[in-house]
Amino acid sequence: MNRTVYSIDGKELRSIELDDAVFGLPLNDDIIWYAINNELANKRLGTACTKDRGEVHGSNAKPYKQKGTGRARRGDKKSPIMVGGGTVFGPKPRDFSYTIPKKAKRLGLKTILSLKVQSDTLKVVEDFSIASGKTKELAGLLSNFGAGERTVIILKDNDPMIKRAGANIPWLRFLSYNRLRAHDLFYGRRVLLLETAAKNLNEFYRASPEQKEAT
């Protein structure tokens, strides 16, 4: 498919060919769900921890005698139904991360890219950089494409200056073409794809995972 390449001023420059195998896939809700939830699960720390009755500090003696008080019988102060007692079936530190097949993850990212093209929220922009690293300069550039909405910029490489310029813009996210994140990409209201990054995506996702591992 052909897409228009825009200048940093928001004007049409030329057209670029995007691979249908990367940007022209049909919508697949299931694979998108699996890709996003896999990322969210892998980000969970899993450090929540509670103490059960065997771990709570306290005496094992009965708080009062078994009979004759008219009160319910108590075994010790660490009982879960006592104030300050242990927790029943509380969380313990655990690892929430899991892996999904590489082909499924790649398919999820390509499906999201295709969804952005179909919804016309993805624009290919000529390569640019912010040599000064100033937020004001980047904000002025983004105003040509609409500002204030959650925006994702897909870079051709790791550009520290443009990332520095966008660090103080809360609704802006940066992704490298070979390090895409399904969650940020899916929830981005606007995706700006640099021209060289678009060409790299055509080649990167056209190749199989086995071929990329060999390189």
Regions of the chain with pLDDT less than 50 = 214-215
Residue with tokens 């969804």: 115
Q: What percent of the chain has a predicted confidence (pLDDT) above 70?
A: 96
Q: List the beta bridge partners of residue 3.
A: 16
Q: pLDDT of 13-36, one tens digit each? A: 899 999 999 999 999 999 999 999
Q: What is the pLDDT of residue 125?
A: 93
Q: What is the pLDDT of residue 207?
A: 63
Q: pLDDT of 36-46, one tens digit each? A: 999 999 999 99
List, in order of start, the domains of the chain with CATH numbers: 2-29+101-214 (3.40.1370.10)
Q: What is the pLDDT of residue 206?
A: 77
